[in-house]
Structures are given as C-alpha cells and as structure tokens.
C-alpha cells in the first residue's frame, strides 16, 4: 500500500465541500461558467477593502521600509510583538478585559489556530464536544492530534442544547468547541446560551475537572440586523478564542489569524508556552510576516458586509417563494434550508441535474438540510432561483 492506511480511510471521509467544489469545476468546463450555479464552497468573493491594498503597497515599497530590519525573516513563533499588542489592545477595549500581547499568538488562519490548540491541550483519546451542525474539518483536526470529536444534537432552531452537552461530558472530555456565527447555519449563539454553557463548565471545574471552552469565530465581523457575538471570556476563565481575517478581509488564501487566551486561564504561562511550541513543531513556524504587518495597520477594517446581507435577503426571498423552508441566518454567508425529501444526499444529487451545486447537510452533522454559500455574485443568485424552483417542482 503506497500511502498510510489512515490517510486512505480519511480520503474516503473527506470533505463533501471540496468534492462538490471539484464537481463544479468539471461542470463549468462542460456547460460554461454562466450555466453552472456553484454554491458549494465558502470562498469569499467580495473584494478586499481599499485599506488592505494601500497597506500592501506601502509595505512592499522600498521607499517606505519599516524601521525593523529583515522584514521577511523569522520572528518569534508567537508573531510580531507590535501586531499582537495591537490585537490585544483592540480586544481589551472591546471586551473590557486586561488582555495583553502575551495572550495573543498569531496563526496561519483559524485552521492553524485550532490545530495548535488541539495539539496543546489533547492527550491521546481525549475528546472535544462539538454542537451540530459543525464545520466538517473539526473531526480531522481532532484526529490530527490523537483526539476525538464528539458531536451533540442542538435544538431544532440550531441553538445550543445544554442538556445534550452535559450528557456528553465524561472522563475523557477536554474541551467544548463552538463556532459562532456558525458554519453552516449562520446561527449566533445567544448570550443566554453562552452563560448557561459557562455555568455547566464551571460546575465541572468546581468538581475538579477542567474543560476548555473554545470559540471559533472567523465570521465574527460578518453579522446582520444589529446582532453581536457574545464574548466567552466574560463568563468562563478557561477559554480560548480563535479568529481569522480570511472572511473579514476576503483574504482566505493569505492564511492569517490568531489565538487569544483568556487572561484568567489556569496555568496560563504553560498554556501560552505550549501554544507557541505547538505552532513551531506543527510546521507552521510563524504566521506570514507580511500579513501580520498589514493586519496591524488595518485592524478595524472589514469588507462591506452590506453586500452579503443583500445577497442573503435576495436568496431567502427567492427560495421561500419557490417553496423552500429555511431560517434567516444572523451572520456568516451561508443558508441551511431543509430538503423536501428525507435523504439530503439524494436531493443534492437531484439539484446537480439542474447544474446547482450545494453541499448535503449530513456532511455537517445536519441531515435533512443542505448548505448554500452566498459568497457569489448576485447575478448567479438571480439566475439560480428559477432552477431551484424547477428542481423542487420536479421532485
């Protein structure tokens, strides 16, 4: 056998998102881009803000070099001190907490941050509880570090079911991972739910068991209708936040994000040292130098989220008028409609007959649904609605 059996097995379970994305490439080559409606992958298409390009030009110009030498060389594995300090200061003001540069580690996107956290906290066989639906790669990330992801059912409206999380806790539980706004539902977990979850974990802590609360927040700044993402740091000490600028700035390919550690976390010096070591020995070494310097300069800049909101509303109106049932997402850029038949994989295959590419909900632990990414031009949404209707009527 040429490669590891474990990888061969993982390939069989590999992400449905990527499989549908690759199918989209095939269909576009056959029918033409304008005749294929690809909503499979959350690849932000909104142009990065002007400030991003301004900072990029400035930093790449020999006329305005930074005062620091060797701008593109190695730096401390945690990242540039000035970048981490800028992020810490921003979070401290936003959350009203004493967050310092040492509480921040720059990472290669949120995925790099999650892998670094799991490498740091997991012993072999330990478990991470994840509410359904969830981003499918979480399973692989836990497995990368000899851990196990334990999915638990959420409520019908996708809010957290605290009792189900409580029932899943056992002697091997090391963390609870939440994703808010959620991929694939767009759900923002309410402050009340975060308080209840924190109270549950505090009860476990008082009984002698430390369970980390980890919040994956790459869509934190893509929110609508006056919503906000509650800060877990305010309610539970042993907590970590992972963030990314992939969606906030539409620079997913540049791989830049960070891990923030609650300043009240137990044994915080070892936690931070462990994260830094893990970042190095996993092969990330450090987050990209150029992107760190850009982030430092445009920390409070985001893409125009009004464009995503317009697409969301356009899509919801069109799908509902066509007969689909779905909730209005509070953030991110995904819809998670119900399938009109029980088997979501079969319905997604049916949609492909109309050159519509979406992802089965079962791949996210949400069977009976399918995920739509509306990180696509408005004209694609407009042209797709009649096809969605035709597909539903022909089922």
Q: Quote the pTM value.
A: 0.94
Report strand pairing: 239-244 vs 257-261. antiparallel
Where exactly does CATH 3.90.1150.10 map onto the chain? 5-49+303-393
Mean pLDDT over the full length of the chain: 93
Structure tokens at 44: 């932000």
Q: Are 354 and 391 in contact (CB under 8 A)?
A: yes
Confidence band for 71, pLDDT divided at 50, 70 and 90:
confident
Structure tokens at 329: 């997402």
Give the chain's count of helices (H) and strands (E).
13, 12
357 beta partners:
38
What distance lies between CA 166 and its chain's CA centroid?
Answer: 24
How many CB atoms sit inside 10 A of residue 392's CB? 18
Chain segment 6-20, per-residue pLDDT in tens: 887 777 666 666 666
Q: Of 242, 282, 245, 239, give the one whose Cα is nearest residue 258.
A: 242
CA atoms 134, 328, 338, 34: torsion sign: negative
Q: Is the pLDDT of residue 64 over 50?
A: no
CA dihedral 106, 111, 117, 118 (to 10 degrees): -160
Q: Which fold, 65-297?
A: 3.40.640
Q: Is 326 helix (H, G, I), strand (E, B) or coil?
A: coil
The model's confidence at residue 60, banded by pLDDT at 50, 70 and 90, is: confident
DSSP 179: E
- Could you tell me the end-to-end alpha-carbon distance of the chain, in angstroms, rounded to an integer? 43
| Tens digit of each residue's pLDDT (9 = 90 or more) over 142-172 | 999 999 999 999 999 999 999 999 999 999 9
Domain spanning 5-49+303-393 has what CATH number?
Answer: 3.90.1150.10
Pairing of strands 356-357, 334-335: unpaired
How many percent of the chain have pLDDT more than 90? 86
Give residue-wise pLDDT tens across range 332-366: 999 999 999 999 999 999 999 999 999 999 999 99
Q: Tell me the pairing of strands 356-357 and 148-152.
A: unpaired
Report the pLDDT averaged over residues 219-238. Answer: 97
CA dihedral for 122, 126, 131, 133, sign (positive or negative): positive
């Amino acid at each position: 056998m040429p490669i590891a059996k474990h990888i061969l097995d993982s390939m069989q379970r590999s992400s449905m998102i990527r499989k549908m994305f690759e199918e989209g490439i095939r269909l576009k080559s056959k029918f033409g881009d304008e005749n294929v409606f690809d909503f499979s992958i959350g690849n932000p298409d909104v142009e990065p803000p002007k400030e991003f390009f301004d900072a990029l030009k400035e930093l790449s110009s020999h006329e305005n070099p930074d005062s620091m030498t060797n701008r593109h060389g190695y730096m401390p594995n945690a990242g540039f001190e000035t970048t981490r300090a800028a992020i810490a200061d921003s979070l401290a003001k936003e959350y009203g907490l004493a967050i310092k540069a040492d509480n921040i580690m720059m990472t290669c996107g949120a995925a790099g941050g999650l892998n670094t956290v799991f490498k740091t906290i997991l012993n072999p066989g330990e478990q991470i509880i994840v509410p359904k639906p969830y981003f499918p790669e979480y399973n692989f990330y836990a497995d990368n570090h000899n851990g196990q992801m334990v999915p638990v059912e959420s409520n019908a409206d996708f809010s957290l079911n605290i009792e189900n999380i409580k029932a899943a806790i056992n002697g091997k539980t090391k963390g609870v991972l939440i994703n808010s706004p959620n991929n694939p539902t767009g759900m923002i977990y309410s402050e009340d739910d975060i308080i209840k979850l924190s109270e549950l974990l505090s009860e476990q802590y008082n009984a002698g068991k430390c369970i980390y609360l980890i919040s994956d927040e790459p869509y934190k700044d893509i929110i609508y209708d006056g919503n906000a993402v509650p800060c877990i740091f305010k309610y539970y000490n042993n907590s970590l936040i992972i963030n990314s600028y992939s969606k906030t700035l539409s620079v997913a390919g540049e791989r830049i994000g960070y891990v923030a550690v609650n300043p009240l976390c137990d044994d915080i010096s070892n936690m931070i040292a462990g994260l830094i070591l893990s970042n190095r020995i996993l092969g990330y070494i450090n987050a990209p130098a150029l992107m760190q310097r850009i982030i430092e300069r445009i920390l409070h800049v985001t893409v125009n989220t009004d464009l995503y909101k317009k697409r969301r509303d356009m899509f919801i109106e069109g799908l509902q008028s066509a007969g689909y049932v779905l909730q209005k997402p509070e953030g991110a850029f995904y819809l998670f409609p119900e399938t009109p038949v029980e088997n979501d994989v079969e319905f997604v295959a049916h949609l492909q007959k109309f050159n519509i590419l979406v992802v089965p909900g079962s791949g996210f632990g949400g069977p009976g649904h399918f995920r739509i990414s509306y990180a696509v031009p408005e004209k694609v949404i407009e042209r797709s609605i009649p096809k969605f209707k035709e597909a539903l009527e022909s089922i």
